[in-house]
Chain A
Amino acid sequence: MIRFVLRRVLAAIPIGLVVTLGVYALVFAMPGDPLRELAGDKPIPAAVLAAKRAQFHLDDPFIVQYLLSMKDILTGHFGTTFAGADIADQLRLRIPVTLKLTLLANAFQWTLGLFFGIYAGFKRNGWVDRSLLLTTLVLLAVPGLVAYFAAQYLFGVELKWFPVSGVLEGFPRSYLLPALVIGVLGFAGLARLLRTSIVETVNADFVKTARAKGLGEQRVLWRHILPNALLPVITFIGLDLAGMFGGAIITESIFNLPGLGQFMFQAIKLKEGGVVVLLSTLAFISFIVINLLVDVLYGVVDPRVRNV
């Protein structure tokens, strides 16, 4: 097990280098000058501009800039943004915001997905199953952006059930609406996957064996069908969690939540390569960790893939 984890972590290092280099190159390749962008319409004195350019190494070749950024990230000296904010402080403030949003959204998504998936799978062709099929079809077809704005307008502006944006009302009130929208949009895929997986497992030979053993229906469902039906779902968790950060960029910007996603959005707009790479690295590390956990979990649930 330790060997497996070590191997995965070691394999992540070269991938991490390629990812950060690629991201940095993309930011570098974007048109426009970051400092002029920051200043807006105001003219900047040449001396200030030169000093700033030197501070952020903007005149150095691409590869030097990249290496300097990586050095900062690896040594923990994150420095300041172009605007002068301390990046370490920013992370301290913003990581909890994103974590709260993601965890709450996942809680909604998993509760709904597991509940409806299991129910529809066990009572297939019942009315819950049929309406789930229709609902999920509709949900999967709605683009996220449309749903976020629609929900914000309907439940925030018109009905005033939730705050429209910002985190002034704290956790969980300020996070409820965005998390609900993410959760409801996301549960559809999960529920359908689980439902299909259960329906397939129900016809497996070992289920017949379990019935021939004289086991009660509940025991057959929970001890024999479900553990097997959950296997593809675990793979889905990994993929889904990986996509969460990408989703946070949009959600946090729309609902004005000061999290990492919003930070990323601002950094990309300002061409702040260092910040973008730092955040990408964070996302990458969490991606590796989550996938490692999922793989370990998979091994726990399915003995056939243990010790691979």
Chain B
Amino acid sequence: MTAHKSGHKTGEVLLKVEDLTVEFDTPRGPVRAVDGVSWQVRAGETLAILGESGSGKSVSTQALTGILEMPPGRILKGTAEYRGADLIQMTTKERRRIVGDRITMVFQDSLSALNPVQSVGTQIAECYRVHRGMSKRDALKKAAEMLDQVRIPAAAKRVNDYPHEFSGGMRQRVMLAMALALDPDVLIADEPTTALDVTVQAQILELIAELQAERQMGVVLITHDLGVVSDVADNVVVMYAGHVVERAATAEALEYPVHPYTEGLLGSMPSADLKGQELPTIPGTPPSLLAIPSGCAFRPRCPIAIDDCAAEVPPLLTVGPGRDAACIRRTSIAAKEAV
């Protein structure tokens, strides 16, 4: 994954999300958490969805996999096609044959994301039992093999241990083993390394990259960490207040951000060049979803905002080859130069 950061992958498109819009019913009226989000992931590609908390990055993946509580959640429109079949239109039963088998997920906090009263072996074996109809014995044997594949020492013994008996990093490996047990086409990793310290974080990302290379799997990596994005992602989708504001190959986005939000994020990344200086930040705070500003949601915090920005939500426009951004001030890469 780290080897090729070109972003121009040619593998088959596995998961294609288009115009996905999700609302939540709250006592103070409906809240649009995800608004017209589109992205796709190809075999062998790592797509990062970058955004701060509340930007809708997790909600979009939970909605398309059907694990979002509905109600209060509601998918207003949009499609999420896995190899051409729309997950959103499917019946729950049909979707269960894909989610959990061909598309699997890893969550942030492995301690609460694993069932505390079942041994890790049982939890991994459950995938084989439910989706492959294996016997308990065979499934447990496969579970031990999986633990070995994610480099858990003495896997054959540890298969009977319970989640609380593992360290944070080891537990996240268990989560990975469970997600990869059935050799999925797409892995959705929702902040998989956020709860881990930096060294363990690197190990887990490396492990994901290795396993991905072996399987030609598509990875959707949800994160708020630009460092993680630059390390592993081929392409990046930047989200702000439920909207996609920029979409590009990682290398290009990092080198040459078009949307002012992406630019601000990059500017506020600590680096050695900034030693001794105060770290720049984006002024203001992300908007409450109950009161999203009219027009461009980023407008109140944007250094280049003009009155027209309040008029309407800026559409995601192609600003260069393979690059999209939603900013009326920068409708092309050339336009950015001009401003």
Contacts and interface: CB of A to CB of B under 8 A. Distances in A.
Contact of A214 (B96, B114, B116, B118): B96
Interface in A79-135: none
A212 B112 contact: no
B131 A206 contact: no
Contact of B130 (A205, A206, A213, A228): A213
B204 interface: no
A303 B130 contact: no
Given A213-B104, A304-B116, A208 B162 contact: no
Contacts of B101: 214
Contacts of A215: 96, 100, 126, 130
A216 interface: yes
A216 B65 contact: no
B100 A228 contact: no
Nearest to B124: A213
Nearest to A231: B117
A213 to B, nearest CB: 4
Contacts of A205: 107, 109, 112-113
Contact of A213 (B66, B162, B178): B178
A224 B112 CA distance: 12
Interface in B102-134: 104-105, 107, 109, 112-119, 126-127, 130-131
Given A205-B112, A210-B115, A215-B100, A303 B162 contact: yes
Contacts of A208: 62, 67, 107, 113
Contacts of B67: 208, 211-212
Given A206-B112, A212-B65, A214-B96, A303 B104 contact: no
A212 B117 contact: no
Nearest to B61: A212
A211 B66 CA distance: 8
A302 interface: yes
A304 B105 contact: no
For chain B, the bracket of interface size reads: 20 to 34
Contacts of B107: 205, 208-209, 212
Contacts of A231: 117
A13 interface: no
B123 to A, nearest CB: 8
B99 interface: yes
Given A208-B107, A301-B117, A216 B112 contact: no
B96 A228 contact: no
Contacts of B69: 203
**Most chain B beta-carbon contacts within 10 A, residue among A209, A224, A302:** A209
Contacts of A32: none
B151 interface: no
B144 to A, nearest CB: 18
Contact of B115 (A206, A212, A216): A206
A203 B115 CA distance: 13
A228 B116 contact: yes
A213 B113 contact: no
Contacts of B178: 209, 213
Interface in A188-234: 203-206, 208-216, 219, 223-224, 227-228, 231
B164 interface: yes
5 contacts: A206-B115, A214-B95, A214-B99, A214-B100, A228-B117
Interface of B: 62, 65-67, 69, 95-101, 104-105, 107, 109, 112-119, 126-127, 130-131, 162, 164, 175, 178
8 closest cross-chain pairs (CB), A and B: A214-B100, A205-B112, A212-B105, A214-B96, A303-B162, A213-B100, A211-B67, A205-B113
Interface of A: 203-206, 208-216, 219, 223-224, 227-228, 231, 301-304
Given A228-B117, A303-B117, 10 more contacts: A205-B112, A206-B115, A209-B178, A212-B104, A213-B100, A214-B96, A215-B96, A215-B126, A223-B126, A302-B117
